[in-house]
């Protein structure tokens, strides 16, 4: 597998993010930068503001103060804070991919159609979109699963389809919100391995929000959020390795990746 | 039972904005069902009373013909009304999955969970039935505007009496609970609340065979009947019933074929999604538009009435009155069917938005444009709507041609009336489905789709 060098300007730069919900301050001035191809985990207990941070970075929520600037692989930088909802929705379609805990696949579409949909939304023909989608499904070990509906897939298979869906448009950044939260440990390990490896191979940056240290260990850099502030930042020893330090070499054999 | 008694008042008050919206929608639907059912029953009782009167003048001679026609109208409306009640009950059940599976986790038994749901649905049915009784009383002055047998109805004729009202207050909640029980069986509430969607079982082509036999049977019977004259009106009505059965058998199958064809031809995301949603559950799609299919069939049959009436009117005044009344009654039945189908479609769309709320919200977070879902909804409703209403009207013209020949095409009044009614009905149904738009917006605005 080729690794993308961490070079060039920052892919995503957030400065002084503040977000309040009524009397509650979810983010109290957060700075985050993300390099091209870098993987970052955001840790923190429930209610710490980590999901709000992900939503602000991804242009889902507008921060009350501060800025989020995306530098796409080509073209001028985009200041997400200055864009309206419609434009931000377009930015999310074009430049970002998303993997949620569960239930993001449309239940009436097949796995193949679910993966083809983002490309079709960006104007690809159905035939082209399905051809590309089929390639992603086989890269994620889902050959022969294309005709299945989400209800006919296991939790791990559905998450792999979600990873394919997130990467099919070749996004600049993939945002994953508790991507293994609904999976058992061995399946979660499998999904994290595929998520980090394929994201990296596609040259995309990755932001993983989690409260699980084992999941966070897959990322090169980790920040910890508490009470709306970044309280800790750490870089994993060994740099850009794709398997967390101490993890077993067998994907299926080890129940505990640590 | 004690758990059910203890928890049901709490559950009734619990739940957020969604629960309030669904409760309001379900109660509205039950109210519409009650009010219309009582109105039609009132009409039936009025015709029965008129038929029982001594005969002072010409218009009353055909009293019993009117009673059988009123029964026909009632029969026509029963299916859509039950469909609407079922849709409302399903809506009531849909948002309770999560809460009910939480109850399972804390040790409430499956039987008690079912009990709780049924109590809740029956309660909604009761609230709706009470509102429906009030609505029925408010509607009576409107119905008295209609002239039948050369005189308008009076309030007293259309008043069903306290016994029937009390009956409605018992029957509607029971029907609601019954439909709720059926839908609960489909949504298996496991402790972890995993209600999985799988491919709907295929619809077999044997439906087409059954439908074909029934339709040919109808045509043969009606050709044979011409030699026996009007005495065999019962047989004719029976054949009408057979034709409806045929429509019901063939409807979901036709929609499935239609959906399959559209899936293969789909190029854009909205075409793909609309076709998949139709294929996902053609029976459910038929439940929404099926009422219109039956109404379209009646409308097709009625297209010949103005011609018949004009032909008869040259002979005597009684025929003129009957012709007028047939047209009025037919149009009234058709309009009611459209109203019921429109409310059904609105309720079904609301339930479908709520059922898919998580996937919709997450797709929206991932950049799915919200107006795409609006376009999908319109496409999903309009395709089957036009197919079914036009198709069944055409079917009626074909099936009734042995009876009336090409009379329908001799005058333009009937066909114009038919096209006008169908177009208006389609607009009404589309407008009703747009009512789910605010609900969709509120679902999409929800960024906290995760528990913590």
Q: Give the tens place of pLDDT for each residue, B219-269.
A: 666 666 554 544 445 555 666 667 667 777 788 888 999 999 999 999 999
Task: Give domain limits for chain B.
Answer: 1-193, 203-452
Predicted confidence at residue A243, as pLDDT, reads 56
Q: What is the DSSP letter of B202?
A: P
| Beta-carbon separation of A178 and B268 below 8 A | no
Contact B409, B415 (CB under 8 A): yes
Helix B437-444 and helix B370-404, axial crossing angle in degrees, nearest 10: 150
Under the banding of pLDDT at 50, 70 and 90, the label for residue A103 is: confident
Burial class (CB in 10 A: 0-12, 13-18, 19+), A129: buried
Could B268 and A152 be called an inter-chain contact, meaning their C-beta atoms sit closer than 8 Å?
no
Write down the H helix ranges in B95-161: 97-105, 110-143, 155-158
Q: Within an 8 Å CB–CB cutoff, is residue B263 touching chain A?
A: no
Chain B: nearest CA to A102, how far in angstroms?
A: 9
Q: Which residues in chain A have their CB less than 8 angstroms from residue B449's CB? A: 100
Q: Which ipTM did the prediction report? A: 0.84
The C-alpha atoms of residue B184 and residue B111 are separated, in whole angstroms, by 11
- The answer to whether residue A177 neighbours chain B at the CB level (below 8 Å) is yes
Please give the mean pLDDT across all residues of chain B: 76
pTM: 0.78
**Which of B359, B364, B448 is nearest residue A103 as measured by Cβ atoms?**
B359
Which chain A residue shows the shortest CA-CA distance from B267?
A126
Contacts of A93 in chain B (CB under 8 A): 366-369
Residue A153 touches partner B, C-beta closer than 8 Å:
no
For B82-126, the pLDDT digits (tens) are 778 877 877 766 656 566 666 767 777 777 777 887 888 899 999
Tell which of A52, A92, A100, A128 to mutate to test the B interface (max B CBs under 10 Å): A100
Q: How many residues does chain A have?
A: 258
The answer on pLDDT for A58 being more than 70 is: yes
pLDDT-based confidence at B445, cuts 50/70/90? confident
Classified as helix, coil or strand, A101 is: coil
Does position A219 have pLDDT exceeding 90, yes or no?
yes
Distance between CA atoms of B224 and B220, rounded to whole angstroms?
Answer: 6
Measured between alpha carbons, how far apart are the two ends of chain A, in Å? 23
Reported confidence tier of residue B212, pLDDT bands at 50, 70, 90: low
* pLDDT tens digit sequence for B356-383: 888 888 899 988 998 899 999 889 888 8
Of B269, B280, B364, the CB nearest to A108: B280
Residues of chain B contacting residue A105, judged by C-beta atoms under 8 Å apart: 359
Domains of chain A: 12-235 (3.40.50.300)
> How near does any CA of chain B get to the CA of A75, in Å?
20
Chain A neighbors of B448, CB-CB under 8 A = 51
* Portion of chain A with pLDDT greater than 90, in percent: 67
Mean pLDDT of B212-225: 63
What value does the mean pLDDT take over residues A140-154?
A: 92
Could B450 and A125 be called an inter-chain contact, meaning their C-beta atoms sit closer than 8 Å? no
Q: Residues of B with CB below 8 A from A60's CB?
A: 365, 447
**Contact map slice: A 60-79 vs B, CB within 8 A:** 60-61
CA angle B384, B386, B390 (to 5 degrees): 120
Query: CA of A155, closest CA in chain B: separation in Å?
Result: 11
Say if A3 is an interface residue toward chain B (CB within 8 Å).
no
């Amino acid at each position: 597998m080729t690794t993308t060098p961490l070079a060039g300007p920052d892919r995503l730069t957030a400065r002084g993010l503040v977000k309040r919900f009524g009397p509650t301050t979810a983010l109290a001035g957060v700075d985050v930068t993300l390099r091209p191809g870098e993987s970052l985990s955001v840790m923190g207990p429930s209610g710490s503001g980590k999901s709000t941070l992900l939503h602000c970075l991804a242009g889902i929520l507008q921060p009350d103060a501060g800025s989020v600037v995306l530098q796409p692989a080509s073209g001028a930088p985009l200041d997400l804070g200055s864009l309206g909802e419609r434009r931000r929705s377009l930015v999310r379609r074009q430049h970002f991919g998303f993997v949620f805990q569960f239930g993001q696949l449309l239940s009436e579409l097949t796995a193949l159609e679910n993966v083809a949909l983002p490309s079709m939304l960006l104007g690809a023909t159905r035939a082209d979109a399905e051809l590309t989608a089929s390639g992603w499904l086989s890269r994620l070990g889902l050959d022969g699963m294309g005709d299945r509906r989400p209800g006919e897939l296991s939790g791990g298979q559905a998450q792999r389809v979600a990873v394919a869906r997130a990467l099919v448009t070749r996004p600049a950044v993939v945002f994953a919100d508790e991507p293994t939260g609904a999976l058992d440990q061995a399946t979660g390990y499998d999904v994290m391995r595929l998520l980090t490896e394929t994201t990296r191979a596609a040259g995309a940056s990755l932001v993983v929000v989690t409260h699980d240290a084992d999941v966070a260990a897959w990322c090169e850099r980790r920040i910890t959020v508490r009470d709306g502030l970044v309280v800790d930042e750490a870089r994993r020893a060994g740099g850009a390795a794709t398997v967390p330090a101490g993890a077993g070499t067998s994907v299926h054999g080890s129940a505990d990746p640590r | 039972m004690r758990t059910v008694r203890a928890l049901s008042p709490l559950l009734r008050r619990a739940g957020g904005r969604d629960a309030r919206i669904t409760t309001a929608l379900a109660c509205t639907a039950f109210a519409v069902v009650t009010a219309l059912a009582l109105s039609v029953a009132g009409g039936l009782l009025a015709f029965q009373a008129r038929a029982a009167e001594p005969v002072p003048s010409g218009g009353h001679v055909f009293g019993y013909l009117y009673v059988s026609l009123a029964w026909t109208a009632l029969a026509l409306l029963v299916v859509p009304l039950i469909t609407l009640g079922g849709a409302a009950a399903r809506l009531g059940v849909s948002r309770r999955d999560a809460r009910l599976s939480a109850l399972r986790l804390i040790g409430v038994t499956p039987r008690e969970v079912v009990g709780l749901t049924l109590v809740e649905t029956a309660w909604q049915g009761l609230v709706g039935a009470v509102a429906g009784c009030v609505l029925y009383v408010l509607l009576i002055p409107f119905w008295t505007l209609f002239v039948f047998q050369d005189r308008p109805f009076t309030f007293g004729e259309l008043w069903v009496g306290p016994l029937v009202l009390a009956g409605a207050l018992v029957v509607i909640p029971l029907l609601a609970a019954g439909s709720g029980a059926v839908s609960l069986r489909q949504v298996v509430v496991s402790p972890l609340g995993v209600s999985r969607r799988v491919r709907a079982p295929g619809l077999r082509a044997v439906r087409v065979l059954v439908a074909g036999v029934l339709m040919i049977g109808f045509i043969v019977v009606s050709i044979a009947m011409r030699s026996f004259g009007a005495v065999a009106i019962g047989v004719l009505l029976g054949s009408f019933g057979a034709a409806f059965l045929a429509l019901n058998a063939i409807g979901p199958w036709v929609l499935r074929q239609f959906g399959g064809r559209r899936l293969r031809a789909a190029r854009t995301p909205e075409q793909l999604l609309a076709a998949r949603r139709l294929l996902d559950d053609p029976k459910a799609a038929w439940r929404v538009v099926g009422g219109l299919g039956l109404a379209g069939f009646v409308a097709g049959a009625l297209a010949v009435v103005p011609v018949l009436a004009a032909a008869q009117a040259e002979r005597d005044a009684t025929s003129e009155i009957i012709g007028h009344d047939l047209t009025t009654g037919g149009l009234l039945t058709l309009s009611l069917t459209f109203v019921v189908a429109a409310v059904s479609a609105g309720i079904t769309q609301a339930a479908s938005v709520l059922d898919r709320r998580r996937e919709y919200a997450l797709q929206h977070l991932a950049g799915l444009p919200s107006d795409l879902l609006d376009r999908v909804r319109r496409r999903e409703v309009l395709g089957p709507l036009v197919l079914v209403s036009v198709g069944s009207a055409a079917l009626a013209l074909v099936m009734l041609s042995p009876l009336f020949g090409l009379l329908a095409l001799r005058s333009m009044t009937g066909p114009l009336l038919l096209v006008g009614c169908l177009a208006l009905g389609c607009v009404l149904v589309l407008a009703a489905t747009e009512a789910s738009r605010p609900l969709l917006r509120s679902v999409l605005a929800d960024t906290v789709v995760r528990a913590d």
